[in-house]
């Protein structure tokens, strides 16, 4: 019998396995009569905050919102409310070009100016050197901008070099908002990401480590004033019902999604353990001859949202794997600064983005989801070995 095609991601596998739990939650929410915010959302917010803080710090506040893009926008708007930049200047926000476009879209939607910096060649996350150079450039050459925040993106589940980035933030009076959309459960020096900056933003897109059955997102913060501002912003700027204290938006988490997320949160540690064990198996089987597997730096715990390898013949490798029944994906085919919406107008670091440009055409994501069975992991790894053999013959 021909082997079935191994998909790159399969959110339906988790949802099918837990269907009876979702059915129960679905009936409970319908019976509750509360379909916007309310106790289901509050319960999930509290449990997710406690899970993030773990034993390493007192739990802060979690604010459930409609998606991960809104989470970033709301965090940036709240920062501007609490720490306004000098009048006549626009707030500058530093992030990477090698990210989901959502990070940069949210910065612009919040009325800030994105400045895109390069990445570190080993972890594919923000380069502190490129960040520092970009901040110095803005200070020297752009009197119209006021550096306000840095958004390090814990891409693929690998935490950024937060010690260095937070040090730069402190020296230049900028706050750190961690984009944790791909890093639920990743840790930096023993602390879960999202709890180290002034705020951490999350997406619960269905394929994420913690996914909803639709769109949802959240912001975590240990700062109660920021939490109050964000809570108001997600609902028309209300601090009191029907009275907008500040101009806000509508970005409320749906109680049905909150109930589903609460179920998946109970499975998250086991799901992340499964992802790490798949990554370890890939690591063990992949030959390094023509393929560079991902790294996990010693100070981090990788959440393996994605297992991304590097190959000079990426597209040929993807086609070779596809022929052998292995699905792959590319994250991302174009860095943000090269995409039509941004090319030529977005500000980039003074030395350009040479590592981003070198790395982007070589990245390929292998199948990675907790329900991926051992036999399929072996099939993927053996297809990679066959590729290596073919390349070296």
Active site positions, annotated: 208
The pattern of x and - marking residues 75 through 114 that bind ligand PLP according to CB under 6 A reads: ------------------------xx-xx-----------
Residue 178 engages ligand PLP in binding (rule: CB under 6 A): no
Q: Which of residues 208 and 310 has its CB atom nearest to ligand PLP in the complex?
A: 208
Q: Which of residues 197 and 291 has its CB atom nearest to ligand PLP in the complex?
A: 197
Binds ligand PLP (CB under 6 A): choice among 60, 64, 68, 206: 68
> Residue 296 and residue 102: Cα distance in Å, rounded?
25
Residue 220 engages ligand PLP in binding (rule: CB under 6 A): no
Q: Which of residues 25 and 180 has its CB atom nearest to ligand PLP in the complex?
A: 180
For the bound state, the minimum distance from the C-beta of residue 95 to ligand PLP, rounded and expressed in Å, comes to 10
Residue 67 engages ligand PLP in binding (rule: CB under 6 A): yes
Binds ligand PLP (CB under 6 A): choice among 188, 205, 260, 387: 205
Residue 179 engages ligand PLP in binding (rule: CB under 6 A): yes
| Most distant CA atoms of the chain, gap in Å | 72
Residue 193 engages ligand PLP in binding (rule: CB under 6 A): no
Contact between 44 and 270 under an 8 Å Cβ cutoff? The reply is no
Secondary structure class of 387 (helix, strand, coil): helix
> Residue 190 and residue 209: Cα distance in Å, rounded?
19
Residue 384 engages ligand PLP in binding (rule: CB under 6 A): no
For the bound state, the minimum distance from the C-beta of residue 89 to ligand PLP, rounded and expressed in Å, comes to 26
For the bound state, the minimum distance from the C-beta of residue 312 to ligand PLP, rounded and expressed in Å, comes to 26
> Residue 183 and residue 234: Cα distance in Å, rounded?
23
> Residue 347 and residue 39: Cα distance in Å, rounded?
43
Q: Which of residues 303-362 bind ligand PLP (CB under 6 A)?
A: none
Using DSSP bridges, classify how beta strands 217-221 and 199-203 pair: parallel, antiparallel or unpaired: antiparallel
Residue 265 engages ligand PLP in binding (rule: CB under 6 A): no
What is the residue-wise DSSP string for 276-338?
Answer: HHHHHHHHHH--SSS-B-----TTEE---S-EEEE-TTHHHHHHHHHHTTB--B-S-SS-GGG
Residue 182 engages ligand PLP in binding (rule: CB under 6 A): yes
Which residue of this chain has its Cβ atom nearest to ligand PLP in the complex?
A: 68
Binds ligand PLP (CB under 6 A): choice among 195, 203, 264, 356: 203
Q: What are the two backbone dihedrals, phi and then psi, of residue 119, each rounded to the nearest 5 degrees?
A: -115, 165
Residue 217 engages ligand PLP in binding (rule: CB under 6 A): yes
> Residue 22 and residue 41: Cα distance in Å, rounded?
15
Identify the CA nearest to 68 among candidates 153, 160, 159: 153
> Residue 155 and residue 199: Cα distance in Å, rounded?
17
For the bound state, the minimum distance from the C-beta of residue 183 to ligand PLP, rounded and expressed in Å, comes to 8
> Residue 45 and residue 248: Cα distance in Å, rounded?
20
Residues in touch with ligand PLP (CB under 6 A)? 67-69, 99-100, 102-103, 153, 179, 181-182, 203, 205, 215, 217
């Amino acid at each position: 019998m021909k082997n079935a095609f191994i998909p790159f991601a399969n959110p339906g596998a988790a949802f099918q396995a837990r269907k009876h739990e979702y059915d129960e939650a679905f009936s409970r929410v319908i019976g509750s009569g509360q379909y916007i915010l309310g106790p289901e959302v509050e319960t999930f917010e509290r449990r997710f905050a406690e899970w993030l803080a773990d034993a390493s710090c007192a739990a802060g506040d979690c604010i459930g919102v409609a998606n991960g893009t809104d989470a970033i926008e709301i965090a940036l708007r709240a920062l501007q409310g609490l720490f306004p930049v000098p009048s006549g200047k626009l707030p500058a926000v530093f992030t990477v070009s090698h990210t989901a476009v959502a990070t940069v879209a949210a910065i612009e939607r919040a009325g800030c100016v994105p400045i895109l910096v390069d990445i570190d060649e080993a972890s594919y996350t923000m380069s502190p050197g490129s960040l520092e150079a970009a901040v110095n450039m803005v200070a020297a050459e752009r009197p119209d901008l006021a550096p306000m925040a840095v958004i390090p993106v814990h891409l693929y589940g690998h935490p950024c070099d937060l010690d260095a980035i937070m040090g730069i933030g402190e020296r230049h009076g900028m706050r750190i908002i961690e984009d944790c959309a791909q890093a639920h459960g990743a840790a930096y020096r023993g602390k879960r990401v999202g709890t180290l900056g002034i705020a951490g933003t999350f997406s619960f897109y269905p394929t994420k480590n913690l996914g909803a059955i639709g769109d949802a997102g959240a912001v975590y913060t240990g700062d109660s004033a920021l939490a109050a501002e964000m809570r108001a912003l997600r609902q028309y700027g209300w601090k009191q019902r029907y009275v907008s204290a500040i101009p806000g938006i509508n970005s409320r988490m749906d109680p049905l999604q909150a109930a589903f997320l609460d179920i998946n949160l109970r499975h998250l540690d086991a799901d992340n353990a499964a992802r790490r064990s798949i990554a370890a198996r890939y690591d063990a089987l992949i030959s390094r001859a023509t393929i560079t597997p991902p790294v996990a730096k010693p100070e981090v715990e990788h959440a393996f949202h994605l297992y991304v390898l590097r190959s000079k013949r990426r597209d040929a490798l993807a086609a070779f794997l596809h022929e052998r029944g292995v699905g792959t994906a590319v994250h991302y085919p174009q860095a943000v600064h090269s995409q039509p919406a941004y090319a030529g107008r977005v500000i980039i670091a003074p030395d350009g983005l040479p590592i981003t440009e070198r790395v982007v055409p070589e990245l390929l994501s292998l199948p990675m989801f907790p329900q991926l069975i051992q036999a399929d992991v072996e099939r993927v790894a053996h297809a990679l070995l066959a590729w290596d053999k073919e390349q070296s013959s």
